[in-house]
Amino acid sequence: MMDLIWGGEPLRLLPQKAALLPERRMLLVADAHLGKAVSFRRLGVPVPQGTTSDTLARLDGLVASHGVEHIVFLGDLLHSAHAHAPATQAAIGRWRDRHPRLALTLVRGNHDDRAGDPPPTLGIRCLDEPWALAGVALCHHPRAVPGRAVVAGHVHPGAWVGRGLDRMRLPCFHLHSGVAVLPAFGGFTGLHAVERVAGDRVIAVAEGRLFDVPGG
């Protein structure tokens, strides 16, 4: 874990590719993309099964470990309209049944525009960005919000580490110009290499820990 102050609020970065506002007991999760695998299989692309269940199980662990009372999904909770398939919705419904008192909020992203809001039975409040909480603004798209520090997702940031044949790209947090971009939480998502400039901070995720990536 890494703790910092962001917009005047404690913000804890987690190696599970999420962040926590500990004083609010609020978990921030970007780009879960539930139902992405089934969307690809509908197109005839052979991809692994069980990715939605794995993503939900990791949420279970974070809720239990950190005493979470509220999860905010920073956009792209559902990948597409195919995520409304009965099997996917049943898995999400079972997860919701395990956490009936947990507050859930979705700050809509671009995929949510196409997928539509989650079913009302899940009890997820849906908002457009930005959602302001004191000195912090919660968004999907990385963007400046005057007077507030932003936490966002959308770009699935990845950082190159190592050299030569040992070079690899890892998911990362990218902090730049008052915007903290979280890695994609979903298990079936790609990575987009960050373009860093002087003053940026890039924090990679590997083997259940976080570490600063030098450079820039």
Residue 108 CA to residue 115 CA, distance in Å, equals: 10
pLDDT of 33 reads 87
Q: How far apart are CA 113 and CA 105, in angstroms?
A: 15
Whole-model pTM: value is 0.90
At 50, give phi and psi (nearest 5°).
Answer: 90, 5
**Percent of residues, the chain, with pLDDT higher than 70:** 88
Which range among 41-50, 139-148, 192-201 shows the weakest confidence by mean pLDDT? 41-50
- Indicate if the pLDDT at residue 59 is higher than 80: yes
What confidence tens digit (pLDDT) does each residue in 102-134 have?
A: 999 999 998 777 878 999 999 999 999 999 999
Rounded CA separation 160/163 (Å): 9
| First and final C-alpha spacing in the chain | 23
8 A C-beta contact, residue 135 and residue 8: yes
